[in-house]
Chains A and B, each alone.
Chain A
């Protein structure tokens, strides 16, 4: 059995790490993004996710530079996303040292892109990023895009299933309602999603305590992405891994 993974999610703007709430109200953190990334690697992180939240406005050069720089010191898998609109965009990130690409908006607008990236680089490279927000009227989850600004009108879970059929090898499932709140992942969403697909599922949005992370994994997440808790050093990576082991969740020692 492959191990459950603890992932650091770094949302970036230009070369700076940022953190928001509900995917908005972004604030800059003091140091360059790379320094956080290197620190997480040295503390035993299993994987890194970089999402450039302004790539669609300013292009991906900043993200490419950050990834290249990261490969000097970071020797675990890196997923990169933000404004990936074509196979060529994906290739530019992979060539810079990323192992996988995360695609959200462009996949909603052009689902064939999922197929094209999977065909060219393998399914494992194609991470479908889903920004889900609960619709209080329908009680279902809508799939948003453009960093949580636009509602696609698609049902997030149906879209996820469709994306896996098209070739997505992994799901990055961000719940907009819980993102940045530190009140815990949306366990209902995670459980529903994990029952629908058999590719790895990364829970994202809302981790504030170590129990939040173990709860998400018990409800079906194969990996948990943390941002705030790592960036503001409220959860230590090694402490989290010890906690997960105590909860009988297998994670890598490292």
Chain B
């Protein structure tokens, strides 16, 4: 299996590459969009701000290639910022159009909970993922994954929520999925054996 990881200059690709290799798949770093369509699976990683991420994707010529790839029906996975950019829009710093593969937007994590208690942002640490709706992943229900984020995904259709997690008293979509397009807010490549297990299930789905 050939797993393409998009290299658009916004991410440390080493950890995710090593995780995929550990599972036993062949990784190809995609520095330009030409080979995207030849891949069996494609991963869009990312750490950083939404506007800069989208700008880098567009300047690297990846946007059309990603949309074309998604139409083939082959699996596409966004991680962290890579997940957020799957949505229609991001509100980080300034409103920015995303890839719009899944309808919805990316919003600020609330600085307080509903009773006024302070929430610490960024949200960093091990958090439970639950309520998986796809049977490919339900075995990972209630496992803990490693999160680092200040924004969260809000899909327009609740049917696109793949799994949920908590932040203060907010329940948010920690995974989103529409057909062959999947996104994880957390970092499976930094979440120990459960994280590798989840990536394995993505590759085998």
| Contacting residue for A2 out of B19, B124, B192, B194, CB 8 A | B124
Tell me if B108 is interfacial: C-beta within 8 Å of chain A.
Answer: no
Question: B148 touching A124 by the CB < 8 A rule?
Answer: yes
The distance in angstroms between the C-alpha atoms of A161 and B132, with both chains bound, is 40
Given A75-B19, A75-B22, decide whether A252 and B196 contact each other with a Cβ distance below 8 A.
no
| Contacting residue for A254 out of B122, B147, B193, CB 8 A | B193
Q: How many residues of B contact A (CB 8 A)?
A: 28
Contacts of B22 in A (CB 8 A): 72-73, 75
Please classify the interface of chain A as helix (H, G, I), strand (E, B), loop, or mixed, using the class held by over half of its residues. loop
Tell me if B55 is interfacial: C-beta within 8 Å of chain A.
Answer: no
Tell me if A112 is interfacial: C-beta within 8 Å of chain B.
Answer: no
Question: B18 touching A76 by the CB < 8 A rule?
Answer: no
The distance in angstroms between the C-alpha atoms of A72 and B189, with both chains bound, is 11
B121 (CB) vs chain A CBs: closest residue? A123
Interface residues of B in 87-131 (CB under 8 A from A): 118, 120, 122-127
| Contacting residue for A97 out of B14, B127, B146, B148, CB 8 A | B14
Contacts of B196 in A (CB 8 A): 75
Question: B144 touching A252 by the CB < 8 A rule?
Answer: yes
Query: Shortest distance in angstroms between A137's beta carbon and chain B's nearest beta carbon?
Result: 36
Contacts of A75 in B (CB 8 A): 15, 18-19, 22, 189-193, 195-196
Q: Which of A94, A122, A199 has the most CB of B within 10 A?
A: A122
The distance in angstroms between the C-alpha atoms of A68 and B127, with both chains bound, is 26
Please classify the interface of chain B as helix (H, G, I), strand (E, B), loop, or mixed, using the class held by over half of its residues. mixed
Question: B191 touching A169 by the CB < 8 A rule?
Answer: no
Contacts of A3 in B (CB 8 A): 125-127, 144
Tell me if B32 is interfacial: C-beta within 8 Å of chain A.
Answer: no
Question: A71 touching B124 by the CB < 8 A rule?
Answer: no
Question: A71 touching B122 by the CB < 8 A rule?
Answer: no
Question: A97 touching B15 by the CB < 8 A rule?
Answer: yes
Query: Shortest distance in angstroms between B113's beta carbon and chain A's nearest beta carbon?
Result: 12
Question: B190 touching A200 by the CB < 8 A rule?
Answer: no
The distance in angstroms between the C-alpha atoms of A233 and B193, with both chains bound, is 22
Tell me if B12 is interfacial: C-beta within 8 Å of chain A.
Answer: yes
Query: Shortest distance in angstroms between B5's beta carbon and chain A's nearest beta carbon?
Result: 14
Question: B192 touching A76 by the CB < 8 A rule?
Answer: yes
The distance in angstroms between the C-alpha atoms of A46 and B144, with both chains bound, is 11
Tell me if A249 is interfacial: C-beta within 8 Å of chain B.
Answer: no
Tell me if A77 is interfacial: C-beta within 8 Å of chain B.
Answer: yes
Contacts of B120 in A (CB 8 A): 198-199
Question: B127 touching A2 by the CB < 8 A rule?
Answer: yes
Question: B124 touching A169 by the CB < 8 A rule?
Answer: yes
| Contacting residue for B126 out of A2, A95, A123, CB 8 A | A2
B193 (CB) vs chain A CBs: closest residue? A254
Tell me if A44 is interfacial: C-beta within 8 Å of chain B.
Answer: yes
Question: A76 touching B194 by the CB < 8 A rule?
Answer: no
Interface residues of B in 1-27 (CB under 8 A from A): 12, 14-15, 18-19, 22
Tell me if A99 is interfacial: C-beta within 8 Å of chain B.
Answer: yes
Tell me if A5 is interfacial: C-beta within 8 Å of chain B.
Answer: yes
Question: B125 touching A198 by the CB < 8 A rule?
Answer: no
B residues near A, CB below 8 A?
A: 12, 14-15, 18-19, 22, 47, 118, 120, 122-127, 144, 146-148, 150, 189-196
A residues near B, CB below 8 A?
A: 2-3, 5, 41, 44, 46, 68, 71-73, 75-77, 94-97, 99, 122-124, 169-170, 198-200, 252-254
- Interface pairs (5), CB distance under 8 Å: A2-B123, A75-B22, A75-B189, A99-B15, A124-B148
